[in-house]
Structure 1
Amino acid sequence: MKIFLCVVIYSLFISQPRVQASTPDSPTYVAAVVEYSPVTASDGDTAADVVTKNLANYVLHIQRAAEKGADIIVFPECGLVTFAGHGSFSTHLPNPEDRVNPCTDDSSGVEEVVRTLSCEARNRSIYVVVNIPEMVPCPSDTNCSSSDVLLYNSNVVFDRDGTVVARYRKFNLFGEPGFSATLEPELSVFDTDFGVKFGTFTCFDIMFEKPAVSLVRALGVTDVVFPTAWFSQLPFHSAVQVQSSWASSMDVNFLASGYNNPRGGSSGSGIYAGKEGPIVAVMPTVPSTQLLLAVVPKKSFQRTKHVSSNVSNVCELITATPYRNAFPERLDGNDSGITMLSDYLEPYETLLLTENEFFSKHTVCHNELCCDFELVMHRSQQIMNSSYKDNVYRLAVFDGIRSYTYVTAGVQICAVISCINDSLSSCVKDLKLSKQEMLNTVFDYVHISGNFRQSNSIHLPITLVRGYDVLSSDKFQFTREEMPERNEIKVDMKTSRQNSNLLTFAIFGRDFQKDGGLLTLPSRCHRTSAATVTVLITVAVILCLHTYFKFPFSFLH
């Protein structure tokens, strides 16, 4: 039915030339994001050659999106220069306050790639958001010499006329040697002629208060453009999980464009309507490029005019670029071809659910956080032509500080997670279900609740089902009740429909006050493996060296 509806809408709406672009009075606008698998260097290619080839593909996508009536198109982080060449190519970017149009201004001092993008935005009358390495002369008040330059991982936005209307320099770098961060996070916004104010940030920024949360809470931004090159991690941080949950928690329209390299761990793009959930989202398991189009209901109309937020009139448009087939055969015959990172669950308080717990209630606590769980589940009936994979579930609770490789962050979690077997380490493994396989457990009802810290925090509904998909908004409820006298917020998350193939169902809280603190270590050493003990001893030694001899804390990456 959904496919039929998609075809009908495509033929009646998106495939027809639009008379005009969206206006401030329109209740919707049309957005495009690109899940992009870049051209990489071949023998003899320079960094400039790679940029030129990727730019040619960007131009094709801009043209295609404009033909389909898109008002704005977003490209991913690193897409022009790729991971391998990130930093080997850079360009000057104009200050948005100067209202420079590189297409018409020969004195703008930009590289040809910026001029071309500006001209495409102008010629196609579409807003264009691109991530590109930015080169800035070294300021006189810094330690570097005047002949040096700083490199920033930057987003640049062109309006329909080709003018640079926004620029954002990534603040929360994920390693990224060679790149600098600004002294303070920038809050970058831009207004559009269709009546929507957008904010922008990049990839790892989404995990932090500044600039991501500040754009919404301090500036009231309702729509976000998000270039990303995400490295997915189980069980809470796969790309579409993070994009969908953040958009829902902040209740903003969210346009996420992802770098596509599944075997390298990067995949996932989507367009999300805040609490209404994903409009369209993909997480390809093989290298592919996809252009996603969606009709996006404006938040201002939803909130002030009570316009329906029905977003069923949406299609995914998949296009093949000249160098890549958009529908290649799967590399390994399974649904999974994405290299997943794994969370470290040893510090969590967990409880393994037994096979006969078809109805159960549990309270699990870790540090100051106690989570209440109520579950009703049953075993699937065998269906012809389908095979079932047995798995088990754990309840998991965490209140402390975890590592994000290059930084530490405060986290509070109440979760139901799927595991391959009874071992805790199996709960962060990819099940690698084939197309024919299904999980044997069906959840009739799941209810999680807990009192989380309120100050300097956010709380997100995290879900994951087979195929790296997330639950639609009509399949669960997520509510928050503030209790300021206790500096707590009561969060409830419950299913509203029966769910099968459920991998993760969780309340994920970020406690920004604890960012940068020391890692939370396991308290039950007798339950750890020899390998884990070795890791803990190594961490303890490094902590001691840091404390007493000022050994660099960066060795805890």
Structure 2
Amino acid sequence: MISQNQFIIYILLIIALFNCINAQSDDYYIGAVVEYSPVYKYNFSQDAVSYMMENVKQYSIHTETAKKEGAQIIVFPEYGIIGTFFNDTRDGIYEYLEYIPNVNSSSTIFLPCTDDNFNDRPILKTLSCVALENDIYMSVNMGDVQNCTVGVDSGCTDGRFQYNTQVIFNRQGQVIAKYHKSHLFYEPYFDEPSQPDPVTFTTDFNVTFGVMICFDILFQEPQSTIFKNGSIRNLIYSSEWVNENFIYARQIQMSWSYINNNNIMAANSGSSGLVSGSGIYSSGKVLNSTVNGGYQPKTKLLISHIPKIPPTIYTPSPPVSGSSDSNEVTLPYINSTNLQFIISPGKNETYEVSQDGFNCKFNYVSHHESFEPTVYQLSSFSGSFNLLSGQICLVTACTGNITNAFCDSPIFQNNNVILDFTELTGWNFESNVNIYPMITAQPVVSLSSYDISTAINRVETNRPIKGFIGSSLFGVEW
């Protein structure tokens, strides 16, 4: 005869098994993303560990909240724990790094929470406990340090490799994957791996994720290897993305999801309008998103039900052909050709610009009479910028008037412009350019559900958009 305690344990095991089976059989999972602004470091003499632990404590609070709302996995942004208050040299960031075991090539189980061997790595240990205590998968960004031998290991200059790293914990608090950022964006204190290392992990709710960090999203690898055969449809993505008017954080996240017909859980910093924009997207549809358009730091938790198999929305159609003999005006905008004009109510107008044979055309229609005429700029760019080579076709709202317009900064406020139809077309894209179509409006609109049609070189909207800020075709060489 079993005791009462044994009976209770037996019932709990049955419930756990039932929940596990249900999680595997559900056609969706519940994901959480945190747009997080790191704690401000008021005391610059504060040691690295105690500072990082302040951020980890905040992570614990958000993780507990997400779990209470049913989340099975939670994603935090790049530099969320380290912050940005370190001396940006290799030695300056060193005290913020911990040795993270090479779980990708080892069969050893690493459970820092209960393993005294990790007592010298308090951040990793504490995060492991947070995942364990909340029974949740957790993706966090840390700094990893690995020893190397000068003169033996290629690229080893000071006896250590330092990596911008995404670390994945499972529900039991085990470190099950780590990914080293493949493409650094002005981060001289970190090393790039010798070659991109495609990293994936599989959860107990039967979803396999790829992992990337920030700038990686604009490069062929590791994403081509991760997603090449179509069996992986979900991406974990952390960033500290700096918004530009031609490539906002939320718009590149959404566009990547759209052209790949995949899910993306994207966590960005919430420091300010300059660095913010997070979301959860499925084949270009916004499931949940946020942006901090102000100057004060903000943190926000996003939670969504995410389909395990996203729908196939985007099928590339042939490029739209065309030509241009437009008048062009050259202004100091990353060596692009620009034309400023005014969008007014009750108009149907077309504008064109060209740079070195790369042409952009914008057409809009507005039947509404309820918004103030607003200055916009159409830009055509072909060349190198920000460690990339590519081509950009962009129309963007400006501040000021036509004689004194400023068009170079991102805009987050609703400008009340209502357009019934827009079409942005670029032609003579190079054959090796990968093109991301984007539309920016406040409130945000979904690429997949806003009567938007795209060719390889065109993005078109076919019903009214309120608060139209701009659209772009961002082509990057692969």
Judge same fold: TM > 0.5, yes or no. Answer: yes
Deviation per residue, 1:286-313 (Å, 9 max, x gap): 322211111101126x46xxxxxxxxxx
Answering whether residue 394 of structure 2 is matched by residue 395 of structure 1, we say: no
CA distance in 2, matches of 1:135, 1:346: 36
- Are the equivalent residues in 2 in contact too, given 1:138–1:144 (CA < 8 A)? no
1:83, 1:494 → 2: CA distance? Answer: 39
Q: Mapping of 1:22-61 within 5 angstroms?
A: 23-43=23-43, 44-61=45-62
Cα distance, 1:377–1:144 mapped onto 2, change above 3 Å: closer
Structure 2 letter corresponding to 1:367: D
The superposition leaves residues 160-205 of structure 1 with CA deviations (integer Å, 9 ceiling, x where unpaired) of 2222221111121121222111111111111111121111111122
Amino acid at match of 1:92: Y
1:300-379 correspondence to structure 2 within 5 Å: 302=311, 345=333, 347-353=335-341, 358-378=347-367
Counterparts in 2 of 1:432 and 1:289: CA distance versus 1, 3 Å: closer
Show the counterpart of 1:71: 72
Counterparts of 1:219 and 1:401, CA distance in 2: 32
Q: How far, CA to CA, are the matches of 1:415 and 1:134 in structure 2?
A: 38
In the alignment, what sits opposite 1:142?
153
% same residue: 28
Conserved? CA contact 2:411–2:469, under 8 Å: no
2:421 matches 1:445? yes
Distance 1:160 1:344 in 2: 52
Distance 1:190 1:346, change over 3 A: closer
TM-score, normalised relative to structure 2 = 0.81
Matched position secondary structure for 2:463: coil
Contact 1:270 1:282 (8 Å CA) reproduced:
yes
> What's the counterpart of residue 475 of structure 2?
509
Matches within 5 A, 1:467-482: 469-471=444-446, 473-480=448-455
Q: Structure 1 residue 146: deviation in Å? A: 9.3
1:159 partnered with 2:170: yes
Q: Note if contact 2:437-2:458 (Cα within 8 Å) is conserved in structure 1.
A: no
Aligned length: 430
Conserved 8 A contact 2:149-2:159: no
Question: Is residue 241–residue 470 contact of structure 1 (8 Å, CA) maintained in 2?
Answer: no
SS at match of 1:84: coil
1:496 alignment partner AA: N
Q: In structure 2, do the counterparts of structure 1 residues 376 and 72 end up closer, same or farther at CA, with 3 Å as the change threshold?
A: same
Query: Helix, strand or coil: the match of 1:83?
Result: coil
SS at match of 1:428: coil
Instruction: Give the unaligned 5+ runs of structure 2.
Output: 1-17, 87-92, 313-330
* AA matched with 2:450: K
2:184 alignment partner in structure 1: 173
What does 1:192-231 align with in structure 2 at a 5 Å threshold?
192-217=203-228, 220-231=231-242
Tell me which of 274, 277, 281 is aligned to 1:272.
281
Q: CA deviation at 1:352?
A: 3.5
For residue 278 of structure 2, what is the amino acid of its counterpart? S
Q: Structure 1 stretches (4+) deviating beyond 6 angstroms?
A: 143-147
Q: Is the Cα contact below 8 Å between 2:341 and 2:402 reproduced in 1?
A: no
Structure 1: gaps of 5 or more residues:
1-18, 304-342, 382-387, 481-489, 513-557
- Give, in whole Å, the separation in 2 of the partners of 1:460 and 1:224: 17
Partners in 2 of 1:109 and 1:236 — Cα distance? 45
Question: Deviation per CA, 1:47-97, whole angstroms, max 9, x where unpaired?
Answer: 111112111111122222222211100111111121113543111111123
Instruction: Name the amino acid aligned to 1:171.
Output: S
For the pair 1:89 / 2:103, whether they are aligned, the reply is no
**Does the CA contact (< 8 Å) of 2:254 and 2:447 recur in 1?**
no
Instruction: Measure, in 2, the Cα distance between the counterparts of 1:478 and 1:169.
Output: 36
For each residue in 1:192-249, what CA deviation from the matched residue of structure 2 results, as whole angstroms up to 9, or x when unmatched? 111211111111222222223443236753111111111111x212221222222222
Deviates more, 1:199-208 or 1:102-111: 102-111
